[in-house]
């Protein structure tokens, strides 16, 4: 175990105490060893917490300076990176989750150029590897931040300047190597600035070809270094750019198909990004499974009154149970998991607030899992859906999906006097069933 820091000295290991507990630093529903549909809760949810919101962001917003004043933010260079790793691993361990996630720049000493970037990333890997060994924590995914540095203002791989592409490729190459070395289970691409601000200065065809080129190079590199996990694209429609090329699951799938990457790349879906794209989260999940590209989830939510990625902790029970139902019904996570890509508000400045956010988020997922499991065990929802489509398993349905031509169908319809009888879709009944579990 890592030794307790002053910052988290007041925080104990978070226990599971059950729904009746009034202890704010205890789980009420997340009991990691509880069996749900024959599988441990932890193995269903595979929870992870991220580095960036909790240990990098200092609470600044566009109108104001950082509010958190964390002790490690006062430090510099490798010393800062190591102090950050100390508190991060202490936090993950006290929370009792199995995974974490990071961007290259989250974990390392800041770098002035690409050479320093490569050196500083290498310097922190020994530390992370040692901490993983000490705590048993695993890496759900790694990624490269190719959107914050000024050089990426006009895009990373989609930049009009090939030297910027080269810089992004360098970061991706080293972030993939780092993820492989740390035993990461997936590698993520979020195209933060892979889009445009205005079409007036943009060559769309070139930009999409360049984006696909970097992905193709990453796929080749993955096989070259023997990285076993999938590469995941994280769809988002906009923010920071006006338009992002990977706007939602369906758009990503079309893009992957165009460039022949649909068997190599999957998606990391984020709740708040789905909302921004005008899609409910359960739609994104269902589409990803339908296309065979479901990978992982960034769990968070937006604010219904705000049109941006507020990254709040996901705590809408109905939304969660609907999403969880899609995940579990379709077989659940394989390499993916639920990463809390979520942050406390900038007024929540205490160490305990970081725990309240994650405890609530994990409890909400656990409740959603229990609700979805009940619906799956009851079986009435899936029976209703299969019954609705049962005609397609009969002769007429099979024939139309197979041998029949359009005119064959037209002739038969008239000759047999086919006259369909409308049936209820039962939407309110179904909504009540999900409401009961939320
Ligand atoms: C931003 C994204 C980002 C990715 C990782 O909106 O959610 O945090 O998850 O680059
Ligand atoms: Ni995310
Ligand atoms: Ni996001």
Residue 358 CA to residue 42 CA, distance in Å, equals: 15
Nearby residues of 365 by Cβ (< 8 Å), 6 or more positions away: 30, 45, 47, 299, 314, 320, 324, 338
Over range 37-65, report the average pLDDT: 98
- Average pLDDT value over all residues in the chain: 97
* Distance in angstroms (rounded) separating the CA atoms of residues 368 and 376: 12
* pLDDT at 12 > cutoff 90: yes
Read off the pLDDT of residues 187-204 as tens digits, 9 standing for 90 and up. 999 999 999 999 999 999
What pLDDT, on a 0 to 100 scale, did the predictor assign at position 5? 81
pLDDT of residue 3: 60
Q: Where does ligand 1 bind, in terms of residues with CB under 6 Å?
A: 103, 143, 190, 234, 236, 270, 298, 309, 341
Give the Å distance between the CA of 341 and the centre of ligand 2.
Answer: 5
What is the 3 state secondary structure string of the chain? CCCCCCCCCCCCCCCECCCCCCCCCCECCCCCCCEECCEEHHHHHCCEEECHHHHHCCCCECCECCCCCCHHHHCCHHHHHHHHHHHHHHHHHHHCCCEEEEEHHHHCCCCCCHHHHHHHHHHHHHHHHHHHHHHCCEEEEEECCCCCCHHHCCCCCCCCCHHHHHHHHHHHHHHHHHHHHCCCCEEEECCCCCEECCHHHCCHHHHHHHHHHHHHHHHHHHHHHCCCCCEEECCCCCCCCCEECCCCHHHHHHHHHHCCCCCCEEEEEEHHHHHHCCCCHHHHHHHHHHHCCEEEEECCECCCCCCCCCCECCCCHHHHHHHHHHHHHCCCCCCCCEEECCCCCCCCCCHHHHHHHHHHHHHHHHHHHHHHHHHHHHCHHHHHHHHHCHHHHCHHHHHHHCCCCHHHHHHHHHHCCCCCCCCCCCHHHHHHHHHHHC
Structure confidence by residue, pLDDT tens digits, 278-317: 999 999 999 999 999 999 999 999 998 988 999 999 999 9
Domains defined for the chain, CATH in brackets: 4-378 (3.20.20.150), 394-437 (no CATH)
Average pLDDT in the 375-395 region?
98
Residue 55 has pLDDT above 60, yes or no: yes
Q: How confident is the model at residue 6 (pLDDT cuts 50, 70, 90)?
A: confident
Q: Is the pLDDT of residue 4 over 50?
A: yes
Tens-digit pLDDT profile for residues 110-169: 999 999 999 999 999 999 999 999 999 999 999 999 999 999 999 999 999 999 999 999
Cβ-proximal residues to 85 (8 Å cutoff; 6+ apart), any chain: 107, 124, 127, 128, 131
CA 190 to ligand 2 center in whole angstroms: 7
Q: How confident is the model at residue 329 (pLDDT cuts 50, 70, 90)?
A: very high
Catalytic residue chosen out of the listed positions 31, 104, 106, 311: 106
pLDDT higher than threshold 70 for residue 1? no
For residue 16, say if its preceding peptide bond is cis, omega within 30 degrees of 0. Answer: no
Pocket test for ligand 1, best of 171, 244, 298, 340 (most atoms within 8 A of CB): 298
The answer to whether residue 2 scores a pLDDT higher than 80 is: no
Is 319 annotated in the active site?
Answer: no
**368-384 pLDDT, tens per residue?**
999 999 999 999 999 99
User: What would the mean pLDDT of 53-62 be, rounded to a whole number?
Assistant: 98
Residue 359: phi and psi, rounded to 5, are: -65, -45
Could you confirm whether 103 is annotated as catalytic?
yes
| pLDDT at res. 218 | 99
Q: Is the pLDDT of residue 88 over 80?
A: yes
pLDDT digits (tens, 9 = 90+) for 203-219: 999 999 999 999 999 99
Q: Rounded to the nearest whole angstrom, what is the distance from the C-alpha of residue 57 to the centroid of ligand 3?
A: 14
| Mutation pick for ligand 1 pocket among 168, 192, 237, 299 (CB with most ligand atoms within 8 Å) | 192
Q: What is the pLDDT of residue 380?
A: 98
Of 44, 53, 103, 174, the catalytic one is 103
């Amino acid at each position: 175990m890592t030794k307790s820091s002053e910052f988290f000295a007041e925080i104990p290991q978070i226990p599971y105490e059950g729904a009746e507990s009034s202890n704010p630093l205890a789980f009420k529903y997340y009991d990691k060893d509880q069996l749900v549909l024959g599988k441990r809760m932890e193995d269903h949810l595979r929870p992870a917490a991220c580095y960036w919101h909790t240990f990098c962001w200092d609470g600044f917003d566009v109108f104001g300076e950082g509010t958190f004043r964390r002790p490690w933010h006062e430090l510099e260079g490798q010393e800062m990176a190591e102090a950050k790793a100390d508190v991060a691993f202490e936090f993950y361990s006290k929370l009792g989750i199995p995974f974490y996630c990071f961007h290259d720049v989250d974990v390392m000493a800041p770098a002035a150029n690409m050479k320093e970037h490569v050196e500083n990333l290498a310097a922190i890997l020994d530390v992370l590897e040692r901490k993983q060994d000490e705590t048993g924590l695993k890496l759900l995914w790694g990624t490269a931040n190719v959107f914050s540095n000024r050089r990426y203002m006009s895009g990373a791989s989609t930049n009009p300047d090939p030297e910027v592409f080269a810089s992004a490729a360098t970061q991706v190459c080293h972030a993939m190597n780092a993820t492989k070395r740390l035993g990461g289970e997936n590698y993520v691409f979020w195209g933060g600035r892979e889009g445009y601000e205005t079409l007036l200065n943009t060559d769309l065809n070139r930009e999409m070809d360049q984006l696909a080129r970097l992905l193709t190079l990453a796929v080749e590199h993955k096989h070259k270094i023997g990285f076993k996990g999938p590469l995941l694209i994280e769809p988002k429609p906009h923010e920071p750019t006006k338009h992002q090329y990977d706007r939602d699951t369906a758009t990503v799938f079309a893009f992957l198909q165009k460039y022949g990457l649909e068997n190599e790349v999957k998606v990391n879906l984020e709740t708040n990004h789905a909302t921004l794209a005008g899609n409910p989260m359960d739609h994104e999940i269902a589409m990803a499974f339908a296309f065979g590209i479901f990978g992982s989830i960034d769990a968070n939510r937006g604010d219904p009154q705000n049109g941006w990625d507020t990254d709040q902790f996901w705590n809408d029970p109905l939304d969660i149970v609907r999403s969880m139902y899609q995940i579990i019904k379709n077989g659940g996570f394989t390499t993916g998991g639920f990463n809390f890509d979520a942050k406390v508000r900038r007024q929540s400045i205490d160490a305990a607030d970081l725990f309240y956010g994650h405890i609530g988020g994990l409890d909400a997922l656990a409740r959603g899992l229990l609700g979805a499991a009940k619906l799956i065990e009851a079986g009435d929802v899936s029976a209703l859906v299969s019954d609705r489509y049962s005609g397609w398993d009969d002769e007429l349905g099979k024939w139309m999906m197979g041998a029949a031509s359009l005119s064959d169908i037209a002739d038969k319809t008239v000759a047999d006097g086919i006259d369909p009888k409308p049936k209820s879709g039962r939407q309110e009944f179904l909504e009540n069933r999900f409401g009961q579990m939320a």
